Structure 1
């Protein structure tokens, strides 16, 4: 009797979780996410930094924002990325934020390297998720800004499930890479379902996803 009760209770929990996940995805993909009408406090911002072109695009995207409205800023960088930290530091210093506690750089394991097999990337992604979970739980950002690098997948997945669990309602803003003119990246295909705002830089991509927003070319 007790064994049957445990099975029924487990089934009920799984059913409720599935329903909650489906509901959140439906809200996001149909554009029914709820946004605060006006903020009166700075926006706690998490920025996923990739490498190479991804880093250049992201820094180009944020270089003109009003930094005092987006603080503190947490830059998530892959441990294997040896150059992006300096680029972030240079940007922050150029905005006269060289000596303060408004920004932090956090390094996590890369979920997928360029050219890595998708099969093996499953395991590296799980490692990255395990590593990043306590970071997200502590930061609880208002906004997550990303543009495609594998580093952002664990961050966005964790954020999505924290939202489903009513723990933290972070808004995910995804900007598809400039080099993606006709097809979405793997990251883009995944975030199609969980990114609150999906921004593209080419009209062809806007046609492929109705809820996406065409912002023109950043580069």
Structure 2
């Protein structure tokens, strides 16, 4: 995600809202560092929201249903307050509730939210669980490997973003 953001026109996309898992301190510090570099040139405002994870790695699908419902309920007021134009997301399951709510906004003609999903760089042959879900919700679905593009016809391949 940071590679994508480094090329983003911060003047055009402001304010920016970042959603990340409440346990993700690494991403939090990296986003703050990126934004502080941009802030020096007065590139608009940003906000960070920490949300509960939908599913922890290796969590059973049965218990993940409950944690996902909790994450969705937690995220609904945040997304409805913002009503975004664009949701740009990558691999983590944290994006599922946000994209789901964005899809609902679009489905009920509340706002034409564009959802762009970028599958993780490490996914070379099979989609992640997030990818399998968002394949049906995203307006643009990007993979970073040609071998994965061959397996996922709906995906767009634009090369590796590294």
TM category (shorter chain) comes to over 0.9
- Say whether 1:193 aligns with 2:136: yes
Tell me the equivalent position of 2:111. 168
TM-score (norm 2): 0.94
**1:32 aligns to what?**
none
Deviation at 1:100, TM superposition (A): 7.6
The higher-RCO structure (CA 8 Å, 6+ apart) is 1
- Structure 1 residues 97 and 131: CA distance shift in structure 2, 3 A: farther
Change (3 A) 1:181 1:161: same
Query: What does the per-residue CA deviation read over 1:58-93, in whole Å, with 9 as the maximum and x for residues that have no partner?
Result: 011111211111111000011111222111010111
Q: For residue 160 of structure 2, give the secondary structure of its aligned residue in structure 1.
A: coil
In the other structure, the counterpart of 1:131 is 74
Structure 1 CA distance for aligned equivalents of residues 79 and 110 of structure 2: 11
Q: Gapped runs of 5+ residues in structure 1? A: 1-57
Number of residue pairs the alignment of both structures matches: 162
Q: Which has the higher Rg, Structure 1 or Structure 2?
A: 1
Residues 153-176 of structure 1 deviation map (CA, whole Å, 9 limit, x = unaligned): 111111111211111221000001
Spell out, residue by residue over 1:125-144, the C-alpha distance to the aligned partner (whole angstroms, 9 max, x if none): 00000010011111011000
Give TM-score scaled by structure 1 length: 0.70
List alignment gaps of at least 5 residues for structure 2: none
The answer to whether residue 157 in structure 2 is matched with residue 204 in structure 1 is no
State the shift of 1:98 in Å. Answer: 8.0
Which residue of structure 2 lines up, in the alignment, with residue 156 of structure 1?
99
